Structure 1
Amino acid sequence: MAKDLTTRSSLRGDGHQCDNQSTLDNMDEMINDIFRDVIGGLSSEAEELRKGPDESAKKFYKLLEDAREELYPGCKEFFVLSYTVQLYLLKCLNGWSNSSFDGLMKLQCVAFPFAKLPTSFHHAKKMVKDLGLNYKRIDACPNDCMLYGKERANDKSFHVCKASRWKLNEKQKEEGALLDEGDPAKVLRYFPLKPRLQRLFMCSKTAELMTWDETDRKKDDKLWHPADGQAWKYFNVAHPQFASDFRNVRLGFTTDDFNPFRTMSELYSISPVVLSIYNLPPWLYNKFEYNIMSLIIPGPSSPGYDIDVYLQPLIEELKESWEVGVKTYDAVKDETFSLKAALLWTISDFPAYAISWKENHPWRHNKRAFDGNVETRPPPPARFPGSEVLKDLEGFENKFGKTQKKGRKKFPWKKKSIFFELPYWETNTLRHNLDVMDIEKNICDSVLGTLLDIKIWVRNEKNKDDVAARFDLQDMGIRNELPLKRTNNRGKRLYSKACFSLSSSEKELFCSVIKGAKFPDGCA
């Protein structure tokens, strides 16, 4: 739990603390509520298990004792566990070193000998780890070929590209060394899904919210919630057994690479994968407290089409949660049930082409602005069933990794999505959603960057009128008034300004207007 909140807070990278006090207050209430319900609801079952508990059960019972044990005699605001989790969160949010945390614990133990405090960082970390919300480290190929898992867990090099599993210096790279052990070249962080879903129902307040889409949603044929959409309703019809228990979890998948802490001069980005829980009311399922950090894919660059390599552990767990389920305690009904989860759709910032799909759109006849031809082909079908996608992909073989050739002569596709390994993905009617806000932001950045002739940022092409774009126009044989010109320097090209390019005075005027613009509060 602390790791989830810590990771989500630290990954924002915008200099804000995400309202730390509010986060701490919510966490304290959540922790106390979770363990109060578990203690009160499972007393008879706990007594039976105590006759022969395993190691994991012993740790959990110890957490129950810490959860209801006062930090010091008479303390009603903090328990041992809640106080420890909040200290650990503060350490992560503020970047305290392990030694500084140890020093703080020693000072507190001396100053408050009557309090039951963790004696060191190791002690506090062990308590938090026992919550069962830690993550797994999985070594990955630096060329995005494969993961070191299952039968390849002990390999020293990647069977696809033959790259070493460990970091090598320049001399070792030249010699083609294969080390027995060292620092991994690339590490994927995976946060298991099942324990995080279980914790949602162990808190009575959250467990009630997890059935909001069925019990409290206004059902008046208006779109208030994703459950009002046709995709959700069709999923219920296609999978009635899953829909019969409205506690079963509906998830959405989103990812986007970003530069940590907005240091745009760095040639590095990471790609977090986040799962949204759509059982919750609409004012909660987008709150970071209720989003599940699933994967942190390391850089230095975005995995792109090779992201499927890193999604393997998540897909395996989603398949298991669909077919087998997860034994979960419901604090509201005081019962243990088999919780199942399904991925309804993904969310991406891929730009849509719906405008030009319209048969009467004037762009279809604008030969000069495009490739010189009139577009007469009909628009693609509004729905493209998963069965047809799989039929078109029959015989397709995925090849992942930077060293693999992505060209396909037989197929127009670049890969067969790993999501089709999910038993129900083929029947989903809305497999991919568009992040409209992200698309609008990217388009705005590109338009402004092109108008103001902003130099291309590191890895983010904000200026679309560059040398590569001019080469594209040259290859297409259009816009001949914008040719590339050779220079004495063979590696450089010059190109004339386009009609939309602004002069220095026009740029200054434009920026002054934007700076002086005033908008209603909350509208910009």
Structure 2
Amino acid sequence: MDKSWMHEDRRSKEYEEFLRIALANAIDHRRIHCPCQRCGNTRKFTIRVIRKHLYFNGVDQTYKDWIRHGQPIESNGSKSVNQEPYLERDVVDETIDMFEGANEHFTENPDEFRKFVEEAEKPLYPWCHKHTKLSGLVKLYNLKARHGMTDNCFFDMFIEVGDLLPIGQELPSCMYEVTKKNVEKKGVPSKVLWHFPPIPRFKRMFKSFETSKSLTWYDESRIKDGRLRHPADSPSWKMVDHMWPDFASEPRNLRLAISSNGINPHSSLSSRYSCWPVILVTYNLPLELCMKRKFMILTLLISSPRQPLNDIDVYLEPLVEDLRILWDGVEGVYDVFRQQSFTLRAILLWTINDFSAYGNLSGCTMKGYYACPICDEKTCGKVGTWK
């Protein structure tokens, strides 16, 4: 008789009991130490994530006493034998977080990252086997944060600690070296572009059952009697169907519009600061959803002291590249409503903006001949007088 299911059931009960205790004693339910074999209590997650880690990776067998999850520490006197390693683990966690952050910072320059690691792994002073340069800095910073030291107090303490250490100690000689970054900054940038890639958000839309179903509403549920009720009844939509029938054959392909204009943030009427949001609108959805805030995707945010004017083309380059990728097709997009993967494509139907922004975005004349986008060459450029 196969008794493996009995072991699995017992292990499952042990995991759930552990999770119950961990949750009951957690200070922050969103950041609990994960004791799986992979994390080893060095990373923090929610209970839901930890449960998956335990079932897939198993528990760290060296973690006998659950001191990180509320189990009291057995002590023989005033100080526990296991208490010091527990306190040291907090420093390890801080060091790991700093290490991971540095790794992301130096992704494009691995040589600089290797030098950073070598510098951090140096002993705090010659023949020191307990602390490295990095762990020593982390300990001192923890002390500063724990007791709310001012910068001046911390700097004075830093100098005194350096004098107490043996010759050859690796602590920085001044506060500047402690806080300096490799990235040189000069002043405040006058022009800033925030880019929010739309492709991941389009993928998430198809992972929602109701939204995925609504994205083909225009093809499956729309009234088709020749009347103009939806953008799908417009000449632009029909022109796309005629020119690119392979694109039109997949109803999940997206038809988009771009809307942009300058605004004064924070209800300010001052003209000394300009902010231009660039928003994508999805027209596959029913009319009552097209203009809902939930489905209006902010893709770019251009902020600078002055309006971008015709230079807006430079700012739009990341979005243009996203649209090119969407036109070529993004493979492996999962449709949760139909439970299948497909290649997602998208096309830009039109732009929405006022007349002045129309000239910047489309490069059209805004005054004189050809000023009216409807009349075109029939536009009258004569100056008249009102009577």
TM-score tier after normalising by the smaller chain length? 0.3 to 0.5
After TM superposition, the score normalised by the length of structure 2 is: 0.46
After TM superposition, the score normalised by the length of structure 1 is: 0.34
Structure number with bigger Rg = 2
